Chains A and B, each alone.
Chain A
Amino acid sequence: MRKMPTALALLALLGTTSALADITFFSTQARPLEEAQQMREIALAPYAEAINYMPQETGTFLSRLEAEKTSPDGALDLLGGLHGELGSLTPSILTPLNDLQGSLADTGISKQYMTLGKLGGDQQRYIPWMQATYIMAANRKALPYLPEGADLNALSYDELLAWGRNMQEATGSPKLGFPAGRKGLIHRFLEGYLYPSFTHSVVREFRSDDAVAMWQKFREIWAVTNPRSTAYGFMQEPLLNGEVWVAFDHTARLKDAFNKQPDQYVAFPAPAGPSGRGYMPVVAGLAVPANATNPDASRRLIRYLMTPEAQIRTLRATNFFPVVEAELPDDLPASIRMSGKAVAAQSSADDAVLSLLPSGLGQQSGLFNKIYRDAFVQIVLRDADIEETLDILAPRLQTLINTSGAGCWLPDPPSDGPCPVK
């Protein structure tokens, strides 16, 4: 008992030794511990000022920002998040960064990305920071079972189905995998890959005949998919332990498999459907909270992060590719080289269908994803009637699009007013 005060004093000392960094960089990206460490050691270390890089889960990221918005001086200086995350904030939380547009004009950032950064308004709320996309990965053990005549770099969904069947027949267990767990990104597969590939649309053709045919096909594919898929978040894990041989996921979520066993895996573009090869790039952006104590320091850091050199460093740390024009060096890690090739093949394919992240939905974007996930759960997992399910969900989709007033985005042709669901 007598030792208590001494212990308390020691603890108090420990508590106060944590150094206060100059710039607090709050980010939902590079969250896994190793990535966060590399973000600090590789990407941010060369910067002249001290930076406190703090990766956050989306929920706490948004809650913290909402809590701070009433305070005159915020604790956060720079925000890094995905387009959808930054878009779900009240726009006035983010300082307009229109003054940066000029200095970034000749860096080669795509105009479409800059427009996404306006979050459906007139002001530049975030600066596009880095990009990634989703691709397929396969264990080399799976290659002998490819259906005859199939080209890995120009696969179709029919061939994927046949491939899955072959593997199941040969090994006795389903070897396809999708990230349909709680942390998985299956909704992006539906929005950016399946729908565009079968209907050349995301919203307009939500319940069309093509969509019905698409869901039927996906049901067949699911029958030869590992049922544990409903628990998968990051496909690198089931790939590494051999549960799954062929998987679809975000490039950053396949990286561990490519880096640990580069000779064991191949990366290749997503399959194509009757309407083409749908693919969706993911954009992360940098933003400054309106109540940041030193907005000039935040802007300086953004300018640094947008230099080609810092973008390459960020690529090494996070596996997200530069949004500015930058020469890729030769000594990049295996995962970046492998996924880089697949990404290029995917976006430059003759039948490629570019599908953008939902834009203009603002705070409705979470609900938007939920509609696609719900459709998946009902139709594929619970075997509900396809047309009936889509007829129930379509009016909900229309309501939330009307609420946000979002116009159509690619691959849907532009609309006057809110994007209509046919």
Chain B
Amino acid sequence: MKSSSSEAVMPSSLSSRASASLADSSSQLAQTAHKPRRNDMAWRWLFRAGVSILVLWVLVPIALLMLNSVSTPEQITGWPKTLTPALSFETLDFFWHYQGVISALGNSLLAAVFTMVIAIVLGAPAGYALARFVFPGMNAYRMIIILSRAFPMPLLALPLAVIFIQVGIDDSILGLAMVHATLALPFAVLITSSLFMGIPVELEEAAWLMGCNRWQAFRRVVLPLAAPGITASAVFAFVISWNEVFASAILTVENRTLTAFLVQSLSESPAEIKYAGGLILVVPALLFLFAIRKYLFSMWGISNR
């Protein structure tokens, strides 16, 4: 069998799923040799339909957003709708010249990157500790991490703002990133801990035997295997920071993030402005995801290109 030979070179975290899918396909192959093809065809169509629905689920709203943001206001409120917009860039142009959008975009990116860095620098070691060591109070620690998500932001923002003003990090991107990192940390810790659990400790032990110290073994063996997962939790942190509105709106005055800057006003603006603003909020996050897609894909066992 082909699968057994490929399993040997594959890291074990990925191998179980990969071998399962290979086994699937080989059993399918075996089936097609004996049974009539109709059943097989039906499954294939079901699979295709399912995939199409999932893909459309994601793409249709984005497509609508794009179409409507280059339509004229008359087209948006008018009926029947067309799929060929008039290509009017008036509303998008309005945003480009809207005072403060550019600096808010910069603030948003900066806050998201800081959040990402803080969440990973603090979250990955915590995840490693949870995965590799047994220590007293471990379960309580796990609970406490999740507990930090139990308080709604509107409740936290006011006391936080008071403290931030006293400490002097009010209205700063770094201060905001610290709040966002608090929101992102539970996910970072939990994702990385399950990630490190999936990497056999024997691999590390083998590295120690070959003369690595703890840090070297981590850096050369564990980290490359964990990189995709760490990236995924970093993306999560990025998206959490990017989408967060309430804390940003209260903790900053001059240095607003894009979401805090736009979302509040958008909900009360005419439809064409809503569409264009929505597009502007979505596109940077999409571009970011696109740029790091190969790390994400390799985590799911899809070959990276």
A325 contacts chain B at the CB level, 8 A cutoff: no
Q: Is the Cβ of A241 less than 8 Å from the Cβ of B158?
A: no
How far apart are the CA atoms of A71 and B267 in the complex, in Å? Answer: 31
Scan A26-48; emit 1 where CB is below 8 A from any B CB, else 0: 10000111101100100000000
A64 contacts chain B at the CB level, 8 A cutoff: yes
Query: Which one of A54-62, A305-313, A345-353 contacts B?
Result: A54-62
Q: Is the Cβ of A237 less than 8 Å from the Cβ of B106?
A: no
Q: Is the Cβ of A8 less than 8 Å from the Cβ of B113?
A: yes
Q: Is the Cβ of B157 less than 8 Å from the Cβ of A18?
A: no
**Hey, which chain B residues are within 8 Å of A63, CB to CB?**
154, 157-158, 161, 250
Q: Is the Cβ of B103 less than 8 Å from the Cβ of A14?
A: yes
Q: Is the Cβ of A14 less than 8 Å from the Cβ of B110?
A: yes
B254 contacts chain A at the CB level, 8 A cutoff: yes
How far apart are the CA atoms of A233 and B104 in the complex, in Å? Answer: 27
B264 contacts chain A at the CB level, 8 A cutoff: yes
A363 contacts chain B at the CB level, 8 A cutoff: no
| Chain A count of residues within 8 A CB distance of the other chain | 46
The closest CB in chain B to the CB of A234 belongs to: B268
How far apart are the CA atoms of A240 and B255 in the complex, in Å? Answer: 36
How far apart are the CA atoms of A12 and B109 in the complex, in Å? Answer: 10
A21 contacts chain B at the CB level, 8 A cutoff: yes
- Given A33-B262, A67-B162, A18-B106 contact (CB < 8 Å): yes
A234 CB to nearest B CB, Å: 7
How far apart are the CA atoms of A68 and B161 in the complex, in Å? Answer: 8
B141 contacts chain A at the CB level, 8 A cutoff: no
Q: Is the Cβ of B264 less than 8 Å from the Cβ of A60?
A: yes
The closest CB in chain A to the CB of B270 belongs to: A256
Q: Is the Cβ of A32 less than 8 Å from the Cβ of B270?
A: yes
- Given A18-B254, A34-B273, A64-B262 contact (CB < 8 Å): no
A260 contacts chain B at the CB level, 8 A cutoff: yes
How far apart are the CA atoms of A14 and B103 in the complex, in Å? Answer: 7
A103 contacts chain B at the CB level, 8 A cutoff: no
B246 CB to nearest A CB, Å: 7
B270: contacting residue among A11, A52, A64, A236, CB under 8 A: A236
Query: Which one of B4-12, B50-58, B94-102, B216-224 contacts A?
Result: B94-102
How far apart are the CA atoms of A20 and B256 in the complex, in Å? Answer: 12
Q: Is the Cβ of B250 less than 8 Å from the Cβ of A64?
A: yes
Q: Is the Cβ of B273 less than 8 Å from the Cβ of A70?
A: no
A385 contacts chain B at the CB level, 8 A cutoff: no
A215 CB to nearest B CB, Å: 30
**Hey, which chain B residues are within 8 Å of A64, CB to CB?**
161, 249-250, 253
B304 contacts chain A at the CB level, 8 A cutoff: no
Q: Is the Cβ of B171 less than 8 Å from the Cβ of A75?
A: yes
A40: contacting residue among B99, B165, B171, CB under 8 A: B99
- Given A18-B106, A55-B265, A242-B79, A34-B270 contact (CB < 8 Å): yes
| Chain B count of residues within 8 A CB distance of the other chain | 43
Q: Is the Cβ of A67 less than 8 Å from the Cβ of B165?
A: yes
The closest CB in chain B to the CB of A233 belongs to: B268
How far apart are the CA atoms of A306 and B137 in the complex, in Å? Answer: 64
B107 contacts chain A at the CB level, 8 A cutoff: yes
The closest CB in chain A to the CB of B78 belongs to: A241
Scan B247-265; emit 1 where CB is below 8 A from any A CB, else 0: 0011001110000001011
A172 contacts chain B at the CB level, 8 A cutoff: no
The closest CB in chain A to the CB of B99 belongs to: A40
B198 contacts chain A at the CB level, 8 A cutoff: no
B253: contacting residue among A15, A54, A55, CB under 8 A: A54
B265: contacting residue among A31, A76, A234, CB under 8 A: A31
A391 contacts chain B at the CB level, 8 A cutoff: no
**Hey, which chain B residues are within 8 Å of A260, CB to CB?**
73
**Hey, which chain A residues are within 8 Å of B73, CB to CB?**
260
Q: Is the Cβ of A24 less than 8 Å from the Cβ of B166?
A: no
**Hey, which chain B residues are within 8 Å of A241, CB to CB?**
77-79
A66 contacts chain B at the CB level, 8 A cutoff: yes
Name B148-194 residues within 8 Å CB distance of A.
Answer: 154, 157-158, 161-162, 165-166, 170-171, 173
A16 CB to nearest B CB, Å: 9
A17 contacts chain B at the CB level, 8 A cutoff: yes
A51 CB to nearest B CB, Å: 11
A141 contacts chain B at the CB level, 8 A cutoff: no
14 A–B contacts from the bound complex (CB under 8 Å): A14-B105, A15-B107, A18-B255, A24-B254, A32-B268, A32-B270, A33-B98, A33-B262, A33-B277, A55-B264, A67-B158, A68-B161, A68-B165, A236-B270
Given contacts A60-B250, A241-B78, list 16 more A-B pairs with CB under 8 A.
A11-B106, A15-B110, A15-B173, A18-B100, A18-B104, A18-B106, A18-B254, A20-B254, A34-B269, A36-B265, A55-B264, A60-B246, A67-B161, A68-B161, A240-B77, A242-B79
